[in-house]
Structure formats: C-alpha cells, structure tokens
Amino acid sequence: MFLRTTPQTLQNKEEFEIIELVSSQASRGLGFWTMICLGFANFFGTRCSHYAWKIEKAKDEALEDIIEEATEKGADGIIDIKFALSGLSVIACGTAVRRIK
C-alpha cells in the first residue's frame, strides 16, 4: 500500500525518512464539446460538468505521476500533497518519504 496523506493526519511521523520533493504537471485540452458546454454554462450561470471532469482527470494524472516518481526513488509514500490549478493544467507536489524499519 502506498501512503498518500497530509502531515496533519500522519501518525508516528518519526517512523518516516524524507527522500525529496516530487512534482508533476498534467494538462488537458478544451476540445469542441467542452467549449460548447462552457458557452452554455457561462450564458446560463451553471456548472459545466465536462470541464470539471477534465480537471479531475488532469488531477488524477498528476497524482499518478508523482506516485510513480516517488516509487522510482524508493519511497513508501507521499506526504503533504498539494494541488494547484491553472486553466486545465494541474500541478501536484508532495514530499516523498520512506518508512524506517
């Protein structure tokens, strides 16, 4: 099991060794249907679920990338994961840690 958490919820912090910062960026294009959806959402003042879905997919991709990077560095988990959003780009970063045995 790969640990993903924030430091506030991490129990027994002394049992982990910090490896290093891991980060990734994932982007999505708008596409024709998303543009149509956004146009209607802006006009009627509603939510565009297509846009939200694309952001969620970009977040998932960025999270998968930092997990892969941390695993390659010998980490057992990532703590203090943060996400930043800019348009349809999501940046994920966190601290890779290894359990001390």
Question: What H or E segment, with its residue span, contains residue 58?
Answer: helix 49-72
Q: Say how many domains are in the chain.
A: 1
Quick: pLDDT tens for 5-22: 666 556 666 678 889 999
Query: Does residue 49 sit within a domain?
Result: no
Q: Can you give the CATH number for the domain in which 76 is found?
A: 3.30.110.70
Residue among 100, 57, 52 nearest 76 (CA): 100
- Residue 60 structural domain: 3-29+55-99
Quick: pLDDT tens for 27-37: 988 788 878 87
Q: List the 89-99 sheet strands across, edge first.
A: 3-5, 77-86, 89-99, 16-27
